[in-house]
Amino acid sequence: MKKFASSILIFWLAAVVLGRLLQLNPNQIDLSGILSSPSFSYLLGADDLGRSILARLLRGVEVSFMVSIIVTVITMLVGVCIGLLAGFYGGKIDRVLMQITDVFLAFPGILLAIAFAAVLGPGLINLMIALSITGWVSYARLTRGQALGLRNRQHVLAAESLGASVPRMIFRHILPLLTSILVVEATYSLASVMIAEASLSFLGLGIQAPNASWGAMLRDGVRYMLIAPHYVLIVGLSLMSLILAINLGGDYLRDKLDVRTET
Amino acid sequence: MFLIKKLSSFATVIFGVLLLTFLLIHLVPGDPVEVMLGESASSADRNQLRADLGLDQPLIQQFGAYLAKLSQGDLGKSIHTKTPIIEMMKTRYPATVKLALLSLIIGIALGVPMGVYAALKVNHWQDIVVTLVSVRLSAMPAFWLGPMLMLIFAVWLGWLPVSGMESGASIILPALTLGFGLSAILTRMTRTSLLEVLNDDYIRTARAKGLTEQAVILRHALRAALLPIITIVGLQMGSLLAGTVITETIFSWDGIGRLLVESIEKRDYPVTQACVLIVALSYVLVNLVTDVLYRFADPRVRVSA
């Protein structure tokens, strides 16, 4: 499983680098090649504007990786800070912060991200803002739960009675114990942000034409499914391989780091 | 006591949801009226819409008016068609509920038996196949599963309609798309939960007194194992509701999810706001009901709290 997952990830990373080296142009329009099937001139066929599906897939996965890494880092920083505050201080601060996360959790799945993306307007930056506004909640909940337990551990109390400052207690004595659980959470969140980005782009709320994105390609693929089924099939299989690989990687890390998750 | 506590936290969450959906329209960069009507609209039209939406009043008063209208079942009007949104909901909401319920049935009908099967064959190849195929493939997002099912069953095999709502069979593909996702989670949960129960003393007792394996599993083990499933089903109802946004768009199913996407495309923000609100409220309500149901179903939870 581990080998399978990592080889898929390495395959995609290598493909992206190779695509950059060969200077494949994802926006090269060729009206004679519209929706053509895979052939020597178009290894994976061409889309509705005669652009190479291969080149667009590679650019799409690049953007997808970038978005999910940036959003994961932002949401993790914000969520962990809020979670630490709530868990460390407890009391009123905790109650107010958790009430706020409860409200965010009252919106199922990506509904809130859809709503934010809708009012902010489409585009890459707004997409990342929408995903960040809604993504920090899970980190905050997770960190808060852990910090609440760690706050009264002997070593933290000992540090406190020795006069350690609050930041020192948080960063030296609590945060390091959260590392493995946060690493695992981050892996899953990479996959879920990737899915969310593709969902929003699929709905036309994310990355805009002519920029390549897997979600938008999948939507176009559905549109031309009757005349060019290879389009939707290729994008679909690529997406599947990537999501599977990341999730398998997450499972592997979870077992390896022995993190217990309650779902 | 539990109910009072639950209801008070429920009320706070509802208030938060109302506040957040109310604020949505104010997050529009620039002038929401200009975004909605386009730059070519006359200033009379703009002022009219601004007054209609109450955007010329202070924020607090707007929120008050929003709540007052809502309490009378008034969700506002569509900017484009001028139809009251509540009228649109009357056809759209049942369509979504119908789809969600059928997906729920499919999810349970597939997920629970597969979970039981995997648990009984634990660590055999059957377990691995079920876990791999059902859990992994079905957990793929709706915007992947939907087109793939459409490609196989509608385009290649031609068994089912591609999209729309004309024939009765139209609901099958969208319901499968959503149902598979749910079944993946249920398979996994049933498997884990049953495996835990199977190690309990009372199962050994049941076997020792000579009950058939079937009776042990169905009457003794499964009854206890299925309890946590109630919570999962309740929680998943929410992702079902959210999943309908994408699934309905793929299959042109005229539910609330598609209405949401259409309203976003037309920049009909009052409709967008109403859709988000209705879906979120449904979700919160389903969760509350699940919580209460679970208390009644499992006496242990009542006692320990």
In this structure, of B148-152, B174-178, B292-296, the range with the lowest mean pLDDT score is B292-296
Q: Is residue B3 over pLDDT 90?
A: no
Supply the pLDDT for residue A35.
66
Q: Is A120 an 8 Å CB contact of chain B?
A: yes
Distance from CA of B287 to the nearest CA of A (A): 9
Under the banding of pLDDT at 50, 70 and 90, the label for residue B305 is: very low
Residues 1-60 of B with CB under 8 A from A: 9, 12-14, 16-17, 19-21, 24-25, 27-29, 35
Closest CA to B293 of B230, B232, B235, B223: B230
Higher pLDDT, A254 or B91: B91
Radius of gyration of chain A, Cα coordinates, nearest whole angstrom: 22
Residue range A1-7: mean pLDDT, rounded: 74
In the block, which residue shows the tokens 């389009």? A231
Per-residue pLDDT tens over the stretch A231-250: 888 888 888 888 888 878 87
Higher pLDDT, A258 or B191: B191
Supply the pLDDT for residue A263.
37
Q: Is B108 an 8 Å CB contact of chain A?
A: no
* A82-86, A183-187, B65-69 — most confident range: A82-86
Please name the residue of chain B whose CA is at the shortest distance from the CA of residue A119: B28
Higher pLDDT, A41 or A125: A125
Q: What is the CATH number of domain B92-304?
A: 1.10.3720.10
A226 and B155 within 8 Å at the Cβ level: the answer is yes
In this structure, of A16-30, A184-198, B68-82, the range with the lowest mean pLDDT score is A16-30
A215 and B143 within 8 Å at the Cβ level: the answer is yes
CA distance B49 to A126: 26
pLDDT above 70 covers what percent of chain B? 95
Residue range B266-277: mean pLDDT, rounded: 86
A203 and B246 within 8 Å at the Cβ level: the answer is yes
Q: Is residue A2 over pLDDT 80?
A: no
Contact at 8 Å (CB) between B185 and B239? Answer: no
Amino acid identity at A58: L
Q: Is residue B301 over pLDDT 70?
A: no
The residues with which B84 forms a beta bridge, in sequence order, are B77
**Domain boundary assignment for chain B:** 18-71, 92-304
Amino acid identity at B192: T
Q: Is A102 an 8 Å CB contact of chain B?
A: yes
Supply the pLDDT for residue A64.
87
DSSP single-letter state for residue B167:
S
B276 and A116 within 8 Å at the Cβ level: the answer is no
Q: Across chain B, what does the average pLDDT equal?
A: 81
Six token digits for residue A242: 């990537």
In the block, which residue shows the tokens 């309908």? B244
3-state DSSP assignment of residue A52: strand
Crossing angle of the two packed helices B85-120 and B172-198, in degrees rounded to 10: 40
Supply the pLDDT for residue A262.
42
pLDDT above 70 covers what percent of chain A? 90
Closest CA to A142 of A101, A202, A89, A96: A101
Higher pLDDT, B38 or A192: A192
Per-residue pLDDT tens over the stretch B215-270: 888 888 888 777 777 777 877 777 787 778 888 888 888 888 888 888 888 888 88
B249 and A203 within 8 Å at the Cβ level: the answer is yes
Supply the pLDDT for residue A260.
57
Q: Which of A109, A118, A240 sits opposite B242 (nearest CB)?
A: A109
Per-residue pLDDT tens over the stretch B104-140: 999 889 888 888 888 888 888 888 888 777 666 666 7
B150 and A222 within 8 Å at the Cβ level: the answer is yes
A118 and B272 within 8 Å at the Cβ level: the answer is yes
Size of interface A-B (CB pairs under 8 A): 127
Going from the C-alpha of A129 to that of each of A50, B113, B190, B208, the distances in angstroms are 32, 41, 37, 60
Q: Is residue B39 over pLDDT 60?
A: yes
3-state DSSP assignment of residue B160: coil
Supply the pLDDT for residue B303.
59
Please name the residue of chain A whose CA is at the shortest distance from the CA of residue B285: A106
Q: Is residue A79 over pLDDT 90?
A: yes
Higher pLDDT, A39 or A217: A217
Distance from CA of A102 to the nearest CA of B (A): 6
